[in-house]
Amino acid sequence: MPLRNCLPALRRNSHLSAPVLVKFIITPVDYAPDATNKPPARRDQLIALKLVQEFIIKPSLRTVPGLAEVNAIGGFEKQIVIEPKFEKLNAANLSFEELAHAIRDNLENAGGGTVSRESEQVVLRGLGRAQTMEEIADLPVKMAGALEPLLVRDVADVAVWYALPHRCRSSQR
């Protein structure tokens, strides 16, 4: 059913005092056919286009007055993937849950509230210790009396993967 056929029903059944205007604009993002700066592989192009869409186009569109929402659909999302090596976990007498707990404790961000001093307020926030693939791989998992701590890289592979998103992402203004 075309959207224009739905609008009268939306207005009639709405509890809003103002008329409802719904408009969808779908604009594909792609390289020009003669672009010289595009990566040679289509997968790499989609990865680069997703970054352009998320960090250039979406923030620019959010500044448009009256625009309620910007959705980015498609492309590949960057993911840092940790694949445990179960034989090494067993050899280190370490459970999967202990590995997951050590990683989670170092990746979580925490809100710290505000501190007021005279006429100023400072917002406090604790950022997770690890931000990159290398930092995650270097996280300590266990000490166990050794001189050197057991690191994530010792019991798991850490890699960057790009995958298709599982759902539509929404960004509210």
Q: In whole angstroms, how large is the CA radius of gyration of the chain? A: 24
Give residue 173's pLDDT.
45
Span 48-63, average pLDDT: 86
pLDDT band at 105 (very low <50, low <70, confident <90, very high): confident
Give residue 95's pLDDT.
93
Q: pLDDT tens-digit profile of 130-147?
A: 778 899 999 989 886 767
Confidence check: pLDDT of 168 > 50:
no
Q: Is this structure's pTM higher than 0.85?
A: no
pLDDT band at 82 (very low <50, low <70, confident <90, very high): very high
**CA–CA separation, 139 vs 121, rounded Å?**
33
**CA–CA separation, 155 vs 159, rounded Å?**
13
Domain boundaries along the sequence of the chain: 1-75, 77-165
CATH assignment, 77-165: 3.30.2090.10
Confidence check: pLDDT of 48 > 90:
no
**CA–CA separation, 23 vs 169, rounded Å?**
18
Confidence check: pLDDT of 151 > 70:
yes
Give residue 157's pLDDT.
95
**CA–CA separation, 173 vs 60, rounded Å?**
11
Give residue 19's pLDDT.
55
pLDDT band at 86 (very low <50, low <70, confident <90, very high): very high
Other C-beta atoms lying within 10 Å of the C-beta of residue 140: 13
Confidence check: pLDDT of 41 > 70:
yes
End-to-end CA distance of the chain: 29
Give residue 146's pLDDT.
63
